[in-house]
Chains A and B, each alone.
Chain A
Amino acid sequence: MAVVLSIKGLVKAYRPGVPVLKGIDLDFEERGLTAIIGSSGTGKSTLVRSVNRLVNPTEGSILFKGQELSRIEGKALREARRRIGMVFQEYNLVERLTVMENLLTGRLGYVGLFDAWLRRFPADDVAYAFRLLDVIGLAGFANQRADSLSGGQRQRVGIARALMQRPEILLADEPTSSLDPKTSVEIMELLKFQGIDHNIPVLVNIHDVDLARRFADRIIGMTGGTVVFDGPPEQLSDDHLKLIYGGEGWLQ
């Protein structure tokens, strides 16, 4: 399989001299779900957010389908972001808009300002949004306000919003951390199979090692801003986990 996303020597320091990411080198292929595991504060989030530049990297290169993302600005950055879908830990829906409006924000990069203001979106986009609502099991919720939904429902809308962009890659930053175990499994299933259906790679930050093992095609373990494990789930041993999370009491 061809490599679509290639990260080379990525460094991010929020404060000079205190890097959170210490030179990450990773390649991602055009299909499959990759889970990034590691304890809090180890730079998982920073890594994922560097890809769509919600975080500006300090050094290194991010090559996405032949385009260098790490230094672009303005229009080029917006156009790159349109191709990258993102799912957030706290869903980040616009609470006071309806479900449909939240989905259509995924198309804002393509719609003129005036049309966006009047909510005039191409019929294609609206039809696609209704299809996605069916897929995520929220048909009939189009005109509900986002703040009336439950956590799991919100995260489904969050995924649908990302898919509305017809993205070429899907990023998910701790998508299950605010959800109960059952809902977490449903959300991971949705991410996994949407990735397969749309033929795009999925990058998921996740705390839960069991969920990662169950759904990922590849696991990346991080600790202290560096990658310490990179391989298929079946190769991830307890020794690796000790290395990633430190200690071993929690493994019992």
Chain B
Amino acid sequence: MSMVAAKSPPSGGDPPFHSSWQARIIALLVLVYAVYALGQLDFSFDRFVKGLDSGAHFLARMFPPSYKNWDQLLTGFIESMEIAVLATFFGVLISLPIAVLGARNLMPGWATWPARLIVTLCRAFNPVITAIIFIKAVGFGALAGVLALIVASIGFVGKLFMEAIEEISMKQIEAVRATGAPFMSVVIYSVLPQVMGRLVGFCSYQLDSNLRNSTMVGIVGAGGIGGVLFAAFQRFEYDFVLAILITIIAVVLAGELASNHVKRIFRV
């Protein structure tokens, strides 16, 4: 608990930042809370020092990273990417109709609230929890991971897409409606053109986020690089763990650079 106390008050307590008494009280409350919570969480100087000790030991065993089992690494990564691609594809595909149904400017109340409920439910649970449930339903492996991330994608893309649809111009809708076009044609000719640009952005973001999350669902047994990582942990092959982590960081970084590049191309 001495860790926090030694530092300055956590919530921006430096006097020039907030000179008002309210801010000081808030800072003090946060400090008191932090000390209390640290006690609740079993933080102690003892444990911390011991932790540093075993941390040093741990780090020593990590270096140098070992790419001896590179074939496992590669297989795991390919599986993670496959999971991410499928989850994004089907997740977006399912999100589209749900978002249209949930948009309050297009649909009556009886259609919007169930659609909104679905999206909220999909968003509420961390993909790891959904993954565990799907593992019970379809067994260990990548399929459970795909299903869990489809649910997560519906929660995310569905919500953003719904909001995007609610922001479109109703005048353009009205004009197409006035020609006697059926509802789905109105969607294709008036709703989609207005939201397509943002949808592409959501999809690429979701692919990226699914790739990251697929490393996570693997830990509970839903396939991909996470499974390889967890297995390496259990076998105490910490040098292989480091190799996997370095690879994950590199891939995420490469993906980020690539998506920045793509964004720049499309903006021009």
Contact = CB atoms under 8 A, between A and B. Distances in A.
- State yes or no: do A and B touch (Cβ within 8 Å): yes
Interface of A: 52, 54, 77-84, 86, 88, 90, 92-97, 101, 105-109, 111, 113, 116-117, 158, 161-162, 165
B189 interface: yes
Contacts of A90: 171
Given A105-B189, A108-B185, A113-B185, A94 B194 contact: yes
Contact of A96 (B179, B185, B194): B194
A237 B1 CA distance: 90
A165 B179 CA distance: 7
Contacts of A113: 182, 184-185, 188
B179 A161 contact: yes
Interface of B: 169, 171-172, 174-182, 184-186, 188-190, 193-194, 196-197
B172 A93 contact: yes
A102 B177 CA distance: 13
Contacts of A162: 179
Contact of B190 (A77, A81, A94, A109): A94
A41 B176 CA distance: 25
Nearest to A158: B175
A88 B188 contact: no
Given A94-B194, A96-B196, A97-B193, A88 B179 contact: no
A109 B180 contact: yes
Contact of B193 (A79, A86, A94, A117): A94
Contact of A116 (B169, B175, B188, B194): B188
A77 B179 CA distance: 11
A79 B179 CA distance: 9
With most chain A CB atoms within 10 A of its CB, the pick from B175, B179, B185, B189 is B179
10 contacts: A54-B178, A81-B178, A83-B180, A84-B178, A90-B171, A94-B176, A95-B172, A95-B194, A97-B193, A105-B189
A50 to B, nearest CB: 12
Nearest to B189: A105
Contacts of B193: 94-97
Contacts of A92: 171-172, 174-175
Contacts of B182: 78, 108-109, 113
Main DSSP-derived SS at the B contact region: helix
Contacts of B197: 96
A86 B30 CA distance: 62
Contacts of A165: 179-180
Given A94-B189, A97-B189, A113-B185, A54 B174 contact: yes
A52 B178 CA distance: 7
A79 B182 CA distance: 10
Contacts of B185: 108-109, 111, 113, 116
Contacts of B184: 113
Contacts of A105: 175-176, 179, 181, 189-190
Contacts of A95: 169, 172, 193-194
Contacts of B175: 86, 88, 92-94, 105, 158, 161
Contacts of A83: 180
A108 B176 contact: yes
B179 A81 contact: yes
Nearest to A95: B172
With most chain A CB atoms within 10 A of its CB, the pick from B172, B175, B193, B194 is B175
B189 to A, nearest CB: 5
A214 B189 CA distance: 37
Contacts of A54: 174, 177-178
Contacts of B179: 81-82, 86, 105-109, 161-162, 165
B181 A109 contact: yes
Contact of A80 (B172, B174, B180): B180
